Amino acid sequence: MASSLSPFFLFLITCSATLITPANSLPTFFPGATYQSLIKQAKTPKPKLPFKVHYFPQTLDHFTFQPKSSKIFYQKYLINSHYWHKGAPIFVYTGNEGDIEWFAANTGFMLDIAPKFKALLVFIEHRFYGESTPFGKESYKSAKTLGYLNSQQALADFAVLIRNLKQNLSSEASPVVVFGGSYGGMLAAWFRLKYPHIAIGALASSAPILQFDKIIPWSSFYDAVSQDFKDVSWNCYEVIKGSWEELEAMSTQKEALAELSKAFRTCKSLHSTASARDWLWTAFVYTAMVNYPTEANFLKPLPAYPVQEMCKIIDKFPSGATKLSRSFAAASLYYNYSRAENCFEIEHEVDTHGLHGWDWQTCTEMVMPMTCSKESMFPPSGFDYEEFAEQCQMKYEVLPRPHWITTEFGGERIQKVLKKFGSNIIFSNGMQDPWSRGGVLKNISASIIALVTKKGAHHVDFRSATKDDPDWLVEQRRQEVEIIQKWLNEYYADLRHA
């Protein structure tokens, strides 16, 4: 897929490759979130945010009437009512795959525009993430509990909570606009399609709703990551592309793990050469995603335009240096820009944002095949659905449903579906974000608008405004505000004449 991010995600990228180890050990990425080994969940302090925390008694299963369906769990949501008054708009963030504070902390755009619209801000946590776990510590135990984790249940959660909130506020006439980034952006767009009577519009940033089945080429994502580096420096692209072969050659040496542990400055000795590969791979993918024009700390603390900074590191090395050593130095920028790390926990990364449930989603409905072409700076690879399904069967005792999302929300004809049945959706994308290739990049109708920026990265428009923002980003946000204002004007005009 904050506003994301997993989205972030990345959910799905299951590339089959021949490098060093079998395909099933390749890293999995998702919009809106950051790759983790998921060995344990970190105890990190929550950011201080201008929101009040609430918990809503949510229904476990909205679509059946089995005895367990009516079980209640407490869904977390955040509210900022500082500028709001009765009848004014309600802006809702449709939470994605992680704890809701993370997304709220990285969606400053909504806070920035709240005064103009006198808007109530609501951030709803996605079921099975953060504190919104229906079965507590047992939530991820098996398919019997995880079976209630899917996008349709999440959308229904949002609908029920929003309706209840408006009733409790005695403000049922308040118009609702939903916002979401990455996987959350997909949810926002789908929510507008599924529940048009609840939300008058949706702003879906970096939402790869076309990444399913064969709607776009499966190599699009990794080709885009590679293009980001290639655009900065051909030498940088060639060095990274050649580093995998050097890593593979090194893996055949007698003391490979000891040498790699030393070269990669690991805190503990490596148990697999695949860990070193995944560590590099992750750094390059996520840096391309969050190639923001200003300093940021979404996935990791990074400088402005971090892809350029990585390539500067590579290009400054003397010609005799190995490609692997140069790639390691560049990747270190992603993991240690703050220079706080003396060594790297390559095999012991912690899950700082509560992403446990995403593997389940990729093994059930969020099947987004990805491959690496010869144009990619990653080793050429294919996608083997049978192998992927076997892994899911072994882990969860379930089989993926690769065509379910396109059946539920629209497949190759989704743009025609949107044109005929949809309205009031903004799809915003930046072409430096590899997830943009799975997004809507052209206007579908007069009210389904694509805002595309050449230099934009992963839902950069949702970040807080700064004095250093480039003109193109300021203009993108201005257009979004203008379109939302138009929706609200039309809504209130209809309300007056009703």
Catalytic residue, candidates 126, 353, 458, 459: 458
Phi, psi of 35 (to 5 degrees): -60, 135
Q: 402: closest CA among 419, 383, 382, 427? A: 383
- What residues contact 461, with CB distance under 8 A and at least 6 apart? 109, 205, 428, 430, 451, 473, 476, 477, 480
Angstrom distance (rounded) from CA 325 to CA 232: 20
| 126 belongs to the catalytic site | no
| 433 belongs to the catalytic site | yes
- What residues contact 67, with CB distance under 8 A and at least 6 apart? none
Q: Find out whether 136 and 108 touch, Cβ atoms under 8 Å.
A: no
Give buried/exposed letters for 415-447 (b at 16+ CB in 10 A, else e). Answer: beebeeebbbbbbbbbbbbbbbbbbbeeebeeb
Catalytic residue, candidates 278, 359, 433, 469: 433
41: DSSP letter: B
Amino acid residing at 347: E
Q: Which two tokens stand for residue 198?
A: 């609840």
Catalytic residue, candidates 182, 243, 251, 275: 182
Angstrom distance (rounded) from CA 422 to CA 407: 16
Q: Which two tokens stand for residue 358?
A: 């995403």
Q: 476: closest CA among 192, 305, 484? A: 484
Catalytic residues: 182, 433, 458
